[in-house]
Amino acid sequence: MTTELPAASRGRSEALIRSRILQAIFERRLPPGEKLTEDRLAELFGVSRTVVRQALARLAQDGIVEQQPNRGAFVAAPSRADARHVLEARAVVEPEVAHAAACQCGAAALERLRRHIATENEARAAGDRGTLVRLTGEFHVTLAEAAGNPVFVRLLTELQALSSLSILLYARGEHAACPPHEHATIVGAIERGEAEEAARLMREHISHVAAEMDLSEPQERPVGLAQALGIKPRARRMPLR
């Protein structure tokens, strides 16, 4: 039986569980709809089910996990409407993040952003798709950290996880991550202190991400199983009297 952890250790364990789940979502190792079993997570992390339950509850508050009565917890599967809402929120928040970063980003934060972009380029050159997806998502959180606003960091962490799930479900073709070179262009404007330009480039960047996703609702829903499968139903024979 797993021993209950002290409150401080429990908090650190919850944060670790949340972080690992988010990383697995960024890297597309946890797809939408995947079940997150409390017993198995408790075993893997060496904590009690109470700690796991609290970590999952926090993720559920952020919309990243769905808790279903009598069934358990599942990785969220955003609808097309949910995905549109996430992108709309990003289009409002992230230009302000870029603007703030251009106004107050220090040398250390800039160097961290440059190193991050270099790591993205290495993953892209190596064809490491999972790592690239995670890194391009983390870039936006790193930029929020550079802006110096912890509320931006929390918002971007949640929005990037939901964006990754949405891309998994609705990406066109092999779209896997943010378009190449655009992060470097944004950081260049931030480095020059061009706040308005950084905000404009970020708005353009988010629109490019959205353009790579099929978020239009089907015009007509299938009526019945036969139509959904593209099969013309056979005429039913009248019973003999």
- The 10s digit of each residue's pLDDT in 11-65 is 578 999 999 998 888 888 888 999 999 999 999 999 999 999 999 999 999 889 9
Per-residue pLDDT at 180: 85
- The arithmetic mean of pLDDT across residues 116-123, rounded, is 95
- Residue 4 confidence class, pLDDT cut points 50, 70, 90: very low
- Residue 133 confidence class, pLDDT cut points 50, 70, 90: confident
Nearest to 55 by CA among 78, 36, 70: 36
% of the chain residues with pLDDT over 90: 60
Per-residue pLDDT at 5: 45
- SS3 assignment, position 166: helix
**Chain center to CA of 40:** 23
Range 32-35 contact pairs with CB under 8 angstroms and sequence separation of 24 or more: 32/75, 32/76, 32/77, 32/78, 32/165, 32/168, 32/169, 33/74, 33/75, 33/77, 34/74, 34/75, 35/72, 35/73, 35/74
In residues, how long is the chain? 241
The whole-chain average pLDDT of the chain stands at 87
| AA identity, residue 92 | V
**What is the model's pTM?**
0.77
- Rg (the chain; Cα; Å): 22
pLDDT single digits (tens) 93-102: 999 999 999 9
Q: Strands, DSSP E only, in the chain?
A: 35-36, 65-68, 72-75
Contact 5, 42 (CB under 8 A): no
pLDDT at 6 over 60: no
